[in-house]
């Protein structure tokens, strides 16, 4: 393809016109939904994993993740990532932590089988080890993390996940505000040069 003086691209004799595209920067964005449920959208750096969502149920105080079409309690994931019960109590308080401790015996096998690809399941037959492997590759923009979570988290590890869930609780308690995903600070603008490079990669 080559660009013309008219600002179009020629490919196989046809003119194509590209528009710039705004995309959400990789990061964790918290909001309060219309039904009162608290949600964080985890938008990962392309090529580092599948995005997902985290929720807090206002009535029960329980946290859960949506991985693909399935829902999973947050407790076993945090536990697999090395977060201790005492750290959860410190971040959330005794009442919220105790509500989530009810998921200690949750069986990860079924959800792990849907969420992990065949290669990961073969390399890590144990769901806890597999989840650690998946999350170790997932990355977000540390600048977005600094603005939304207060620290420049780059990896989705135990501390960053614990802090992201704490923020949902703080929004419920009125201690923190939801994030504005539509803010220009949270957007990146891509042009034709980015699209071509992305397609080649």
Q: 166-187, pLDDT tens digit by residue?
A: 999 999 999 999 998 888 889 9
pLDDT greater than 90 at residue 165: yes
Cα separations (Å) of 27 from 17, 66, 135, 160?
Answer: 30, 16, 14, 11
Among 30-39, 48-57, 160-169, name the one with the lowest average pLDDT: 30-39
Return the exposure string of 19-43: e unless at least 16 CB atoms fall within 10 Å of the residue's CB, then b. eeeeeebbbbbbbbeeeeebbbbbb
State residue 34's pLDDT score. Answer: 82
Rg (CA), the chain: 20
Res 19: pLDDT: 80
The whole-number average pLDDT for the span 37-43 is 91
What does the pLDDT read at residue 155? 93
The angle formed by the CA atoms of residues 137, 77 and 67, to the nearest 5 degrees, is 70
Residues 6+ apart with CB under 8 A from 1: 9, 10, 11, 16, 196
pLDDT score of 37: 82
For 58, how many CA atoms within 13 A lie in the half-sphere containing its CB?
Answer: 13
Q: Show the DSSP H helices in the chain as ranges.
A: 74-80, 85-92, 94-101, 109-115, 118-123, 127-137, 142-149, 158-173, 192-200
Q: Which residue would you say has higher pLDDT here, 112 or 182?
A: 182
Average pLDDT on 13-37 reads 87
- State the Cα–Cα distance between residues 22 and 166, nearest whole angstrom: 29
Phi, psi of 160 (to 5 degrees): -70, -40
How much is the pLDDT for 99? 94
**Residue 194, SS3 per DSSP:** helix
Q: What is the pLDDT, as a whole number, of residue 35?
A: 80
- pLDDT of amino acid 192: 83
Least confident of 116-120, 140-144, 185-189: 116-120
What is the reported pLDDT for 134? 87
Two structure tokens written together for 118: 């065949």
Tokens of 51: 């995005």
- Write out pLDDT tens, residues 62-110: 999 987 677 889 999 999 899 999 999 999 999 999 999 998 888 888 7
Instruction: Indicate the range of 48-52, 67-71, 118-122, 139-143 predicted with least confidence.
Output: 67-71
- 3-class SS of residue 77: helix
């Amino acid at each position: 393809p080559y660009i013309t003086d008219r600002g179009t691209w020629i490919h196989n004799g046809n003119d194509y016109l590209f528009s710039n595209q705004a995309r959400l920067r990789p990061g964790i964005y918290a909001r309060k939904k219309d039904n009162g449920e608290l949600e964080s959208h985890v938008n990962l750096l392309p090529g580092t994993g599948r995005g997902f969502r985290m929720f807090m149920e206002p009535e029960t105080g329980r946290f859960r993740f949506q991985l693909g079409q399935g829902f999973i309690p947050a407790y076993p994931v945090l536990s697999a990532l090395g977060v201790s019960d005492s750290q959860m109590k410190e971040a959330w308080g005794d009442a919220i932590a105790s509500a989530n401790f009810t998921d200690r015996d949750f069986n990860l096998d079924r959800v792990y089988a849907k969420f992990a690809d065949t290669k990961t399941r073969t390399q890590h037959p144990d769901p806890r080890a597999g989840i650690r492997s998946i999350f170790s590759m997932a990355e977000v923009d540390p600048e977005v993390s600094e603005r939304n979570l207060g620290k420049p988290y780059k990896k989705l590890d135990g501390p960053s996940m614990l802090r992201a869930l704490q923020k949902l609780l703080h929004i419920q308690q009125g201690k923190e505000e939801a994030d504005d995903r539509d803010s220009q600070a949270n957007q990146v603008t891509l042009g034709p040069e980015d699209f071509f490079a992305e397609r080649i990669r």
